[in-house]
Every structure is written in structure tokens, then in C-alpha cells.
Amino acid sequence: MNKTLKYLVFAIVVLTILATGIGLLSNTVYEQTNMTSVNGATISLYGKGIYHNDSISIAAQAKGQDLTTLLIAIPSLIAATYYTYKKSIAAKLVLAGVLAYFLYSYISYVFLAQYNPLFIVYIALMGLSFFAFTICITSLDSNKIKQIMPSSFPRKKLAVFLIFFSIMMMFRSLSIIIPTITSNIIPVELEHYTSLVIQAMDLSILLPSALLGGILLYKDKPLGYVISIVIIIKFTPLGVAILAMLAFMANAGAVVKLSEVILFSIIGITLIFVLLVVLKNLKNLHKRI
């Protein structure tokens, strides 16, 4: 295992424990609870802890993400790193997927969350995750992975799922943006922020990557195996995080639509099932790096 990658992962673990711990445990109450955005909307601020200047919705989502990262992503990162050190190809694929989750998460914290004392930590985590992910993904041999993949690997089914899932989620993101382009209406989701950061990341990088991975996998291209597996591993903790976000939002008094709960519950359960199928096949990879 690359020593630089090992040091980067260690730094990510330490800083993430710091960031998520403060995010979850800080509860100092601030006076300001409402504000008027530049678009004239009245926004209820969370008013507590490190996320006190964020809206109730975004602060609750951040706490849900913090909990998922602390309880699921960090242990997964440690375990994947350990087995990658033992020269397991399967573990290296998992490591790349988990690092993709960290990269996506802390890009969103840097560019979406209101400025707070952890901003420099978010920047560090974004940078560390980027370099760790780059080192990990570029060290994978897609041709070798395809060659040693067990015959039980559900290539076409996984490919179809990724293609369908990515297109569905693209339409969902576009449904927030397109109606506002010609109507001079600001999306409700914007609240007092300056941009729809999550939708921008999803439509520009994440979902096109999932679509590309699905297409390449369906065509039995070596790169399709790597992209698809990494994307599934990245998506699953994010799906769990969204369910945690909805729970925190409901607890904080934010509006939570029943349709959203049902949709993301189905997505979360489906992603967990798909991940288990993928991991079962990866477990059969006896080849070493």
C-alpha cells in the first residue's frame, strides 16, 4: 500500500472525528433565529451549535450526515485501509468508494454550509480526500479486475440499475432547477444560500459518472467495473445519510414530505441490497495486488 495514501487516510480519520464530533455535540444557543434572504424570503435559522447560521433544514441535514460519517463511513474507511494494506484488490475498490464519499461530503460542507470555525477543517478534509481518492483510483488495474471478477457478478443487472438510477436522479435534480429558469422564481431549496451546490455536483460529476459506469459495464469494458463498483460503494452511505438527514429534519421541525421519506427509504434499502450483492462478489476475489 502506498505510504502517502496511508498517511492521508490517517489524517482524514482524525479530522473527520473532530468535525463530526463538534457538529453533533455543539449546542450553544444563539439569539438570532430568523433572517430575510437577498431574495426576500424569511428563513428560520437553526440557532444552535456550529451550524447556528445555517437554516434548520441544512443544519439538520449536516447533523444527519455527521452521524452517518462517524458511525459508518469512518469504520468503513479504517477497515478498507487495513485490508488494502494486506494487498486485497477488493479492499482497494472499497477504499476508493469510501474515499469518494468523503470527497463528495466535504466538498458540500466547504461550498454549502455557512462559514463557521470548522471551515479550515472542511477545506483540509476536501483536499486530503481528493488526493487520497486520486492515488487510490489511479492505482487500480481495471483490466486485471475484470479478469478476476467471479462469473456470478451481476454485470448487466448492475449496469441497468446504475443507468436507470442516474437518469432518475438527474430528472429529480432538474425538476428543481428547470421551472425557475424562465419564471424568475427562486427555488425554495435555495433558502439563504447562494447556489444549489448539491444539485450542481450531482448533475456535473456524480450522476454522469454513474451513467458512464453503467454504460461501460453493460458493454463489458474494464473501466466499467471500476467506476460502477466505486459509485455503488460511494452511493450507499450517502443513501443512509439522507435517511438520517430526514430524521434530523423532522426532529428539528423542518418540513419533511412523506413522498421524500418513501422515495429515499426505497432508494436506501435498494442501495444496501445492491451493495451487499457487490460485496459478496468482491469477497470471492482471492487475487492480490
pLDDT at 145 over 80: yes
Give the model's confidence band at 288: pLDDT under 50 very low, under 70 low, under 90 confident, else very high.
Answer: very low
Give the model's confidence band at 82: pLDDT under 50 very low, under 70 low, under 90 confident, else very high.
Answer: very high
**Do residues 2 and 139 touch, judged by C-beta distance below 8 A?**
yes
**Do residues 55 and 45 touch, judged by C-beta distance below 8 A?**
yes
For the chain, the domains span: 3-282
Mean pLDDT of 246-256: 86
**Do residues 241 and 268 touch, judged by C-beta distance below 8 A?**
no
User: Residue 125, SS3?
Assistant: helix
Mean pLDDT of 230-246: 92
Beta bridge partners of 288: 88
CA 41 to CA 173: how far, in whole Å? 22
pLDDT at 220 over 90: yes
Q: What's the pLDDT tens digit per position in 29-43? A: 887 688 888 787 888
User: Residue 288, SS3?
Assistant: strand
The DSSP H or E segment spanning 42 is strand 42-44
- Bridge-based pairing state of the strands 34-36 and 42-44: antiparallel
CA 93 to CA 206: how far, in whole Å? 17
The terminus-to-terminus CA distance of the chain in angstroms comes to: 9
Mean pLDDT of 129-151: 94
Q: What's the pLDDT tens digit per position in 3-32? A: 899 999 999 999 999 999 999 999 998 876
How crowded is residue 101: how many other Cβ atoms within 10 Å of its Cβ? 25
Give the model's confidence band at 289: pLDDT under 50 very low, under 70 low, under 90 confident, else very high.
Answer: very low
For the chain, give the number of residues.
289
Exposed, middle or buried: residue 26 (CB in 10 Å: 0-12, 13-18, 19+)? Answer: middle
CA 218 to CA 102: how far, in whole Å? 27
